Structure 1
Amino acid sequence: MNERRFTIVESDSTHGSEMPQVPQDATEVLDAYSEAVMQVAERVGPAVVQVGVVHEGRARTERGIVPFKEQGVGSGVIIAPDGYVVTNSHVVHKATQITVTLADGREMVAALVGEDPITDTAVLRISPDLDEKLPVAELGDSDRLRVGQLVIAIGNPHGFQSTVTAGVVSALGRNLRGYGGRLIEGIIQTDAALNPGNSGGPLVDSRGRVVGINTAVIQHAQGLCFAVPINTVKWVVGMLMRDGQVTRAYLGIAGQDRPLHARIRYQFRLVNPSAVEIVEVQSGGPAARAGLRVGDLISAIDSQPVRTIDDLHRYLARLQPGQVARLEVLRRDGGTLQRQEIDVVTDRQAA
């Protein structure tokens, strides 16, 4: 058998070149990235909590029907110094016991103020010591997010408290089918690593402002994580804190944000750069009864421009079920795009 010989030559001043050095400007970029993440963790971390839940029920076994208790864990974020906490609806739904563990290790019993499964949002209330002001997180503006923007997730994956991960905004305006089977619209997609237990924790921008509430991951996939936009959460939370529930007039559609070509905007004299495209019409619902179709573009409601799903939600939240909403719709009919006005008698959004 032929024998092969190899000679290993060590690099020195006379053989080869020196080890490549990282350029100083690249080091400064890495340091700036690390500094941004560290500052966010230090600023927002104290306001992030662990949410523990107990579900009680009865199960059929070989010994008959027996009671059981099941424990779960999620995350949350304090939004008011007197003890209001935002988390996901699916974390606390039908829980018989809810506890909140603060970043300093203190555990408190929490009361459910209200929940909205449609946006997977819930509000809890804890009672701090008299005159104590709890640390709070600043709420940002999710409408200002851009794809590629740095975001940081803080939560309690698998019970590991105060875990920080970082990534970017991968996409905006996604639709995600929630735990109740309904579509949650306008979702933020990110590759910041999320795991079970992160649900309900904050997604934060590089300035430490909460831009979303983490809600879901796609199992067996990498880098596909989702958060509810904070602008959606804010108006839901306001109603939950005031009324304990969200009462909506609804249309019976699912939609997504759709940019409008400049030619279309000029043709129909539209001021909004985008509209809401209908991607699903609920059978027998208000929209179906009014004749709305998949593919229709909603550009206005009661003469108010509609740019995004959030615009539509916010307007419908001000209507009472049964009120008539006049929609301005762009519809392609016979190859020609036409503008129509369609009156829809709204209905009550089922819980």
Structure 2
Amino acid sequence: SGFLIDGDGRVLTNYHVVENSSEIRLLLAGGRSHNARLVGTAPAFDLALLQIEGGASAIAGMKPLPLADSDQVEIGQKVLAIGNPFGLHNTLTTGIVSGLARDIPGAPVGLGEALLQTDAAINPGNSGGPLLDSAGAVIGVNTLVAREGQNIGFAIPINFVKKILPELISMGHAYKPNLGFSALPVTSGFASLLGLSIRSGLLVQEILEGSPAALAGLKGGGRMIPMGDSVWVVGGDVIIAVNGKKIVSPHDLTVILLGARPGDKVQFEIQRGEERRTVSVILPPMHF
């Protein structure tokens, strides 16, 4: 599934819907069909942008869907999902928003804690279709379901998509910089256990040699502590804020860097021991 986002014939869908396609043909409302080209991809965010051949003339009489403000979405509000589950064209299901900021196993790496949860029926064939509010505006892009449960579906919030769209349109891809470090979120309980003076942030685990993080002087940990089924590396920097915005999870960093470009300088506020300092990280080339 997919949906029209502007009057020039651009269609938004999921990347996994079209990633192995050698030819793309879209069936439009009313039974018309047109070839389309893949003009933008963002695999890390499971998003793809298509261009209908013929542009505006091919979609005469059709209106793009308005894009809502997904930051205003609330748990319990009514939603509608449109798609083609199991080849059943133009299927409409209804439900509510069941949860916000979900982070689930199997989600694309760039989405982190971004996903909206809904109990509107989303099945194979719904991927890439719109999740609408009661006014018919898009609040999300339906992307996956929890296979072990019923009526548990997830959508990419449209405000997240809005930050990526300009890059998809102008350059054909979205930039997700690899800064060359791993980190884990600091919780208040973990901070108390380790005697940290701060209660939230990202604890840097390891630094890749020669990476932007290493060149900026970020420090990883040097001591391993078993934590349940995992091992934490402690003693490294704690990232508190990036470009003045508070950081509490890896996804916060992803969101802050949306729209950034290679060569941009990003300010990291860190806690190192008892010292608070700021370091500048220069974003790497596209394929670092």
Q: Same fold (TM over 0.5)?
A: yes
Deviation at 1:174? Answer: 1.7
Given that 1:253 and 1:279 are in contact with CA atoms closer than 8 Å, whether structure 2 keeps it comes out as: no
Structure 1 residue 178: deviation in Å? Answer: 5.1
Is 1:90 the counterpart of 2:31 in the alignment? no
Equivalent residue in structure 2 for 1:110, among 13, 19, 36: 36
- Amino acid of the residue matched to residue 182 of structure 1? V
TM-score, scaled to structure 2: 0.74
Aligned positions of 1:205-284 closer than 5 A = 205-251=133-179, 278=202, 284=208
AA matched with 1:171: G
How far, CA to CA, are the matches of 1:276 and 1:101 in structure 2? 49
State how far apart, in whole Å, the 2-side matches of 1:187 and 1:146 are: 13
Distance in 2 (CA, whole Å) between partners of 1:144 and 1:90 is: 28
Report the CA distance shift for 1:131/1:236 in structure 2 as closer, same or farther (over 3 A): closer
Secondary structure (helix, strand or coil) at the match of 2:103 reads strand
The unaligned stretches of length 5 or more in structure 2 are 189-198, 222-231
The CA distance in 2 between the partners of 1:171 and 1:329, in whole Å, is 31
Give 1:112 deviation, angstroms.
0.8
CA distance in 2, matches of 1:125, 1:257: 40
CA contact (8 A) 2:183 2:206 kept: no
Q: Distance in 2 between matches of 1:282 and 1:96?
A: 40
Measured after TM superposition, the shift of residue 117 of structure 1 is 0.5
Question: Residue in 2 aligned with 1:165?
Answer: 93
Counterpart Cα distance in 2 of 1:224 and 1:258: 29
Q: Are 1:182 and 2:113 an aligned pair? A: no
Q: What is the number of residues matched between the two proteins?
A: 258
CA contact (8 A) 2:140 2:155 kept: yes
Q: Share of identical aligned residues, percent?
A: 37
Return the letter of the residue paired with 2:257.
Answer: L
Does the CA contact (< 8 Å) of 2:87 and 2:125 recur in 1?
Answer: yes
Give secondary structure in 2 for the equivalent of 1:200.
coil
Residue 321, structure 1, aligned to residue 262, structure 2: yes
Task: Tell me which amino acid in the other structure corresponds to 2:13.
Answer: T
User: Which residue of 302, 317, 330 maps to 2:243?
Assistant: 302
Q: What's the CA shift string for 1:49-68, capped at 9, x where partnerless?
A: xxxxxxxxxxxxxxxxxxxx
Which of 128, 140, 153 is matched with 1:200 structurally?
128
Structure-2 change in CA distance of 1:321 and 1:259 (3 Å): same
Structure 1 residues 243 and 276: alpha-carbon distance in aligned structure 2, compared to 1, 3 A threshold = farther
Partner residue, 1:4: none
Q: Which amino acid aligns with 2:34?
A: M
Contact 1:199 / 1:214 at 8 angstroms: preserved in 2? yes
Greater share of strand: 1
Give the secondary-structure state (helix, strand or coil) at the position aligned to 2:39. Answer: strand
CA contact (8 A) 1:203 1:213 kept: yes
> Residue 304 of structure 1: CA displacement?
4.6
> Out of 47, 67, 70, which is 1:139 matched to?
67
Report the TM-score, using the length of structure 1 for normalisation: 0.62
Give the stretch that moved more between structures: 310-319 or 208-217.
310-319
Aligned counterparts of 2:105 and 2:286: Cα–Cα separation in 1? 17
Q: Which runs of 5+ in 1 are unaligned?
A: 1-74, 261-274
